[in-house]
């Protein structure tokens, strides 16, 4: 069976979609990604769709699902490299990809994930300090 490869890069997972997905392949990817997040404890998922020429409502829903599922598993999702024609079409279709972070390219997407990771860590520390203050 065909599969989209998922690469692990430090605390992040990297997926490059090189082909136009049919529905079952997209569902397999969703499933594989969530399992990988759980197995590796990844803190971020980066999905590169620069080679994808069509994102319809189904594919959009899958991207949204991946983002919400990852968030529950404590990982952020960034979708990068969307073609302008795809963005125009998505908005007219009525799909806003709520809850999905986006970035222009892989580099910017990585930066975004890194800032989010640091931000989350600081937040955790602050909460811990608050806790300690209260204990004092």
Partner 1 sequence: MEIVREQDVVPFRNRVREFSTRIGMSLVNQTKLITAASELVRNMLKYASGGKVILEIISHNAKTGVRLTFKDEGPGIADIALAMRDGFSTGRSLGLGLPGAKRLVNEFDLKSNPGEGTTVTVIHWKHGR
Interface residues toward partner 1, by CB under 8 A: 20, 22-24, 53-58, 60-61, 83-86, 88-89, 92-95
- Residue keyed to tokens 């937040």: 123
Give per-residue burial for 15-30: e unless 16+ CB within 10 Å, then b.
bbbeeebeeebbeebb
Nearer to partner 1, 89 or 114 (CB): 89
Nearer to partner 1, 28 or 114 (CB): 28
* Closest approach of partner 1 to the CB of residue 93, in Å: 4
* Closest approach of partner 1 to the CB of residue 78, in Å: 22
* Closest approach of partner 1 to the CB of residue 96, in Å: 11
Nearer to partner 1, 61 or 116 (CB): 61
Rg (CA), the chain: 16
Nearer to partner 1, 84 or 134 (CB): 84
Grouping H, G, I as helix, E, B as strand and the rest as coil, residue 96 is: coil
* Closest approach of partner 1 to the CB of residue 99, in Å: 14
Instruction: Check if the beta carbon of residue 55 is closer than 8 Å to that of residue 19.
Output: no
Q: Which tokens in the block code for residue 30? A: 């969703």
Tell the burial category of 63 from Cβ atoms under 10 Å away from its Cβ (0-12, 13-18, 19+): buried
């Amino acid at each position: 069976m065909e599969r989209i490869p998922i690469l692990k890069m430090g605390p992040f997972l990297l997926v490059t979609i090189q082909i136009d997905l049919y529905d079952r392949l997209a569902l397999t990817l969703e499933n594989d990604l969530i399992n990988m997040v759980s197995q590796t404890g990844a803190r971020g998922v980066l999905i590169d769709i620069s080679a994808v020429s069509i994102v319809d409502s189904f594919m959009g829903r899958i991207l949204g699902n991946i983002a919400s599922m990852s968030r529950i598993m404590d990982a952020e999702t960034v979708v990068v490299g969307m073609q302008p024609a795809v963005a125009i079409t998505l908005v007219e279709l009525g799909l806003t990809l709520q809850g999905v972070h986006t970035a222009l390219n892989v580099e910017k997407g990585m930066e975004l994930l890194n800032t989010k990771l640091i931000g989350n860590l600081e937040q955790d520390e602050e909460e811990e300090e608050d806790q300690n203050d209260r204990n004092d």
